[in-house]
A and B are shown apart, each in its own frame.
Chain A
Amino acid sequence: QVQLQESGPGLVKPSETLSLTCAVSGSSINSFYYWGWIRQPPGKGLEWIGSIYHTGSTYYNPSLRSRVTISVDTSKNQFSLRLSSLTAADTAVYYCARRVGTTENLDYWGQGILVTVSS
């Protein structure tokens, strides 16, 4: 059974950098899937952040590209998100998910982690 689990701080200060990690089990990071991040502000819709392939190739939402870095650690079977220059608008539930490249969908999701940006 494929499982993804997000971890990281629940509270971050404005202007700081958010770091989240997604641990993957039941599926190898080195497989032919991509690994992505999506966020959802409270009471609002979903927003695509970006994704990474195990080779390290990254793909970012143009609206966030200047602040986002996604990396992969194949030895730990996990991938990570860094989002810099945080503002209150970045408060959201952050999800990691497995992206199927052949059909371009997200077939497995983590449970999500709420990140609040506040001083």
Chain B
Amino acid sequence: QSALTQPPSASGSPGQSVTISCAGTSSDVGGYNYVSWYQQHPGKAPKLIIHAVSKRPSGVPDRFSGSRSGNTASLTVSGLQAEDEADYYCSSYAGTDNFVFGTGTKVTVL
């Protein structure tokens, strides 16, 4: 299976919003309600911030939101804060107990 396509980078000033896209196919992103997003700071393990397309785990600020249209999912970070500067990866269930990750997006807070 091929990796999901994300833009390499995105940026915004503190307080602004940034949206990251995650393009897949009808066999993954568009075929299952199992899109997740992970935040990864340098040298750290990924952290789950969105699951089931748009659900936030307990403790994740409501500044993070997820959505999907067709075969493309999106993550929006509203009210950007300095600590939001990190790499973000989408992931989708791809059937037969397999998963595919996105190529990753580096978010810079200007």
Residues of A within 8 A of B (CB): 38, 45-48, 51, 59, 61-62, 95, 100, 103-107, 109-112
Contact B57–A104 (Cβ < 8 Å): no
Chain B: residues with Cβ within 8 Å of the partner, total of 27
Partner of B34, one of A59, A95, A103, A110: A103
Does any Cβ of A come within 8 Å of B109's Cβ? no
Q: Give the shortest distance, in Å, between B45 (CB) and chain A (any CB).
A: 4
Contact A62–B98 (Cβ < 8 Å): yes
B 32-53 contacts with A by CB, 8 A: 32, 34, 36, 38, 44-48, 51-52
Q: Give the shortest distance, in Å, between B43 (CB) and chain A (any CB).
A: 9
Q: Of A62, A104, A107, which is in contact with the most chain B CB atoms at under 10 Å from its CB? A: A104
Does any Cβ of A come within 8 Å of B100's Cβ? yes
Partner of A45, one of B32, B52, B97, B102: B102
Contact A61–B101 (Cβ < 8 Å): no
Q: Give the shortest distance, in Å, between B92 (CB) and chain A (any CB).
A: 8
Contact B46–A107 (Cβ < 8 Å): no
Closest to B96 in A: A59
Contact B45–A111 (Cβ < 8 Å): yes
